[in-house]
Amino acid sequence: MAGLSLNNKNALNPPLWLLAEVTYSCPLQCPYCSNPVDIANYKDELSTEEWLRVLREARKMGATQLGFSGGEPLVRKDLEILIAESRKLGYYTNLITSGVGMDEQRISAFREAGLDHIQVSFQASDEELNNFLSGSDSFRHKLEMARQVKKQGYPMVLNFVLHRQNTDQVEDIIKLAIALEADYLELATTQYYGWANHNKEQLLPTREQIKKAEKVAHLYQEKMKGKMRIYYIVPDYFEDRPKPCMNGWGNVFLTITPDGTALPCHSARLIPGLDLPNVKDHSFEWIWKDSPDFNKFRGYDWMKEPCSSCDEKEKDFGGCRCQALMLTGDAANTDPVCSKSPLHSKLVEDIRRIESNAENNIVEKPLVFRNMRTSKSLL
Amino acid sequence: MMNKDAIPTLSRMFRFQWEEAQQCHVILYPEGMVKLSQSAGEIMKQVNGEASISNIIQTLSDLFDGADVSEDVIAFISEAEKNGWIELK
């Protein structure tokens, strides 16, 4: 979402960023997936016609960036139709994919349909770890798909989600991206929601790991200037100010989940007391402008102390509502990543415990891979 | 100094378009967007891979009653090139 210019202060902004999670099905089983752990509960998916209607309505409201995500969006057989219509409507269309389910022909069909950009995600820079983390034999296929994306003239964005198991590989990851001639490299830090939160004990990197990785990333950012843009963000757990999550609730971002639920962020479903409006029942305009959910944490009036009187509230909007809920029990609290939060020390303590377990190889909970079977067993 | 015979073209990675909801021109790229000012939008509209910088200055000057736009055009083109939005041939 880099580069979107924002203004939360004045009139209601358009929902510039629409994320279409078209399915929860996925051939991969990454334990850091940000989908909810109860994916097995959501069998219904919007039909092609329903998606097309949503895309038209959202575009009318000013949505510009459109991400097709999931699950694995390639599972949807009608993806070409959705892309073609989106391009016609004037969206900048992003396909966020593992590459599994794609081949040379499909990449070219997407191009014809008008797809602007494909982001291919990898799990690691080497085959063994990549295939272990994704629970699939996918590394070589991903390499081939990345090459095809480049060859067929798309801007190539590679995405690696970083966590304890692969953070030490960061230099190899960057070298792989250089070899594949990526235009952008996203070294995306794991966000601890959904499956990732369930597996936090196993995934949270140590401060030492992060320090090293950061140094390497900055070195290459300088070195690759003008050739490849490298995005690297330190996990916010280790910061003392929270991230401006979603650039503010109901400010620029809207997710539609596979069953048509509209959410102000991917994880919002876990916040109690939300109505969870569905595009099957409501117009997109009503959902964005008037629905109680999208107004719940919009702007600044909902804030409690220390946020409400804080001179930095317009910078970070009090951080992340879901994180506030998960770590403090109340979504309206200050994100405890903030050192001004009275619960910040609790978070720091928790990180220390996880770090110390990591250093001593103590496994309190085994890594759970994301699939429908484990989802059912966790329900 | 910028060579005024150079021909700017939009880079492969970017798209330039009018956004009705925001009443401005924008440049779009993977997962991002830049809103352009009115004058920047007018300059970008002339970038078509055929017109040189001096052509663009002339066209805009004619459009705006003979105003001297060369400084604005050169400043914007050099900024746009620095950001990778356009390439100069």
Using the predicted structure, report yes or no on whether residue A5 has a pLDDT greater than 50.
no
- State the pLDDT confidence band at A32, using cuts at 50, 70 and 90: very high
Measured in angstroms, the CA of B34 and the nearest CA of chain A are apart by 6
Render the burial of A332-347: b for 16+ CB within 10 Å, e for the rest: bbbbbbbebbebbeeb
For chain A, the average pLDDT equals 94
Predicted pLDDT at A293: 97
Closest Cβ opposite residue A64 in set B12, B13, B26: B26
Closest alpha carbon to A190 in A211, A166, A220, A173: A166
Measured in angstroms, the CA of A151 and the nearest CA of chain B are apart by 13
Question: In sequence order, what E strands does A86-218 have?
Answer: 92-97, 117-122, 156-162, 184-189
Mean pLDDT, residues A222-235 taken together: 90
Please name every residue paired with B34 in a beta bridge, in sequence order, or none if there are none.
B27
Count other Cβ atoms within 10 Å, centred on residue A115: 23
Count of CB contacts below 8 A, A vs B?
A: 58
Count other Cβ atoms within 10 Å, centred on residue A371: 18
Q: Kindly list the residues of chain A whose beta carbon comes within 8 Å of any beta carbon in chain B.
A: 1-5, 14, 16, 60-62, 64-65, 67, 90, 92, 94, 116-117, 119, 153, 155, 157, 183-184, 226
Percentage of chain A modeled with pLDDT above 90: 89
Closest Cβ opposite residue A3 in set B19, B22, B34: B34
Predicted pLDDT at A2: 40
Give me the amino acid identity at A117. Answer: H
CB pair distance less than 8 Å for B30 and A116? yes
Render the burial of A3-25: b for 16+ CB within 10 Å, e for the rest: ebeeebeeeebbbbbbbbbbbbb
Predicted pLDDT at B1: 67
- State the pLDDT confidence band at A307, using cuts at 50, 70 and 90: very high
CB pair distance less than 8 Å for B33 and A92? yes
Q: Are A228 and A235 in contact (CB under 8 A)?
A: no
Q: Are A70 and A42 in contact (CB under 8 A)?
A: no
Mean pLDDT, residues A289-310 taken together: 97
Q: Are B77 and B43 in contact (CB under 8 A)?
A: yes
Q: Are A77 and A104 in contact (CB under 8 A)?
A: no
Count other Cβ atoms within 10 Å, centred on residue A97: 23
Give the strand order in the sheet containing B32-35. Answer: B15-19, B24-29, B32-35
CB pair distance less than 8 Å for B30 and A5? no
For chain B, the average pLDDT equals 93
Using the predicted structure, report yes or no on whether residue B12 has a pLDDT greater than 90.
no
Count other Cβ atoms within 10 Å, centred on residue A260: 20
Q: Which residue has the higher pLDDT, B3 or B2?
A: B3
Closest alpha carbon to A58 in A208, A326, A349, A255: A255
Mean pLDDT, residues A264-291 taken together: 96
What ipTM goes with this model? 0.89
A230 vs A326: CA distance, rounded Å = 30
Chosen for mutation from B31, B34, B81, B83 (greatest number of chain A CBs closer than 10 Å) is: B31
Q: Are A207 and A178 in contact (CB under 8 A)?
A: no
Could you tell me the two tokens for A8? 């939360």
Predicted pLDDT at B35: 95
Using the predicted structure, report yes or no on whether residue A9 has a pLDDT greater than 70.
no
DSSP code for A190: P
Question: Which of A280-288's residues contact partners 24+ apart within 8 Å by CB, and which partners?
Answer: A280/A46, A280/A50, A283/A57, A284/A54, A284/A57, A284/A58, A284/A60, A284/A61, A285/A57, A285/A60, A285/A61, A287/A254, A287/A262, A288/A12, A288/A15, A288/A61, A288/A250, A288/A254
- State the pLDDT confidence band at A92, using cuts at 50, 70 and 90: very high
Closest alpha carbon to A121 in A193, A55, A69: A69
Sign of CA dihedral A168, A174, A179, A181: positive
- State the pLDDT confidence band at A361, using cuts at 50, 70 and 90: confident
User: Per the omega criterion (within 30 degrees of 0), is the bond before A62 cis?
Assistant: no
Using the predicted structure, report yes or no on whether residue A277 has a pLDDT greater than 50.
yes
Q: What is the pTM of this model?
A: 0.92
CB pair distance less than 8 Å for B13 and A183? yes
A99 vs A73: CA distance, rounded Å = 10
Taking CA atoms, what residue in A is nearest to B83? Answer: A226
Using the predicted structure, report yes or no on whether residue A288 has a pLDDT greater than 90.
yes
Closest Cβ opposite residue A1 in set B22, B28, B31: B31
A251 Cβ neighbours under 8 A, 6+ residues apart = A6, A8, A13, A298, A317
Q: Are B14 and A3 in contact (CB under 8 A)?
A: no
Using the predicted structure, report yes or no on whether residue A4 has a pLDDT greater than 80.
no
Mean pLDDT, residues A279-307 taken together: 97
CB pair distance less than 8 Å for B30 and A157? yes
Using the predicted structure, report yes or no on whether residue A11 has a pLDDT greater than 80.
no
Using the predicted structure, report yes or no on whether residue A7 has a pLDDT greater than 60.
no
CB pair distance less than 8 Å for A1 and B22? no
Predicted pLDDT at A161: 96
- Cβ contacts of A116 on chain B, cutoff 8 Å: 15, 28, 30
Predicted pLDDT at A234: 78
Q: Which residue has the higher pLDDT, A84 or A366?
A: A84
- Cβ contacts of B22 on chain A, cutoff 8 Å: 14, 62
CB pair distance less than 8 Å for B31 and A2? yes
Q: Are B49 and B9 in contact (CB under 8 A)?
A: yes
A68 vs A101: CA distance, rounded Å = 14
CB pair distance less than 8 Å for A155 and B13? yes
Mean pLDDT, residues A191-217 taken together: 93
